[in-house]
Structures are given as structure tokens and as C-alpha cells.
């Protein structure tokens, strides 16, 4: 089941975030307030999920391989925003 969740998260991270939010308490365990997951839902869903996994699996400490996962997820999120801006410039 966890492998299936990771597969879905790579294609539809926002849907996975909603499912996790409704069915578990992982976000409340990983984050101190609900503000960061909500902002992450709209702006950086991959990084939000990676940070949540790192906090839960590594005893509330982001280091080593988990840090690499969070950085890669942030790069993927930021590159997605850059692609949108590039397409807007080409249309103008």
C-alpha cells in the first residue's frame, strides 16, 4: 500500500495530500500549524509531501537522504513554476 501511495503522489500530489489529510494525522504530526501544509498544497506540493515524510520517518529531523529528497522535491516544484512563466512569455 505505501508503494501505491508514492506512485500516486508522483502524478497527483495534491490529491494524495487531501487523502492523507482526511485519513491520517501525519500533517499534524509533521507540522506545528496548518498554515504550511495549506501553502504547500497550492505552491509546492512535492516538497510538502517530502518534508512530511522526512519528519515522520526520521524522528523530526531532516538530514542525510531525507534532506536530499526534500531538496529534489523543491527543485521539481520550482521548475514547474518556471515552465509556466516561460510559456506565458512565449505567448506575448
CA-wise closest residue to 51 among 35, 72, 33: 72
pLDDT in tens, 16-51: 999 999 999 999 999 999 999 999 999 999 999 999
Long-range residue pairs from 58-62, CB within 8 A, at least 24 positions apart, any chain: 60/30
Rounded Cα gap, residues 38 and 92, in angstroms:
32
Mean pLDDT of the chain: 86
Q: Cell numbers at residue 78, please?
A: 520550482
Domain boundaries, the chain: 2-91
pLDDT of 58 > 90? The answer is no
Which pLDDT value is given to residue 44? 93
- The answer to whether the predicted template modeling score (pTM) of the entire model surpasses 0.75 is yes
Amino acid at each position: 500500500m505505501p508503494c501505491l501511495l508514492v506512485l500516486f503522489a508522483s502524478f497527483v500530489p495534491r490529491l494524495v495530500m487531501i487523502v492523507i489529510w482526511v485519513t491520517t494525522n501525519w500533517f499534524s504530526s509533521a507540522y506545528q500549524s496548518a498554515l504550511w501544509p495549506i501553502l504547500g498544497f497550492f505552491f509546492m506540493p512535492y516538497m510538502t509531501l517530502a518534508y512530511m515524510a522526512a519528519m515522520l520517518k526520521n524522528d523530526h529531523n531532516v538530514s542525510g537522504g531525507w534532506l536530499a529528497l526534500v531538496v529534489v522535491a523543491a527543485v521539481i516544484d520550482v521548475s514547474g513554476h518556471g515552465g509556466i512563466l516561460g510559456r506565458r512569455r512565449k505567448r506575448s
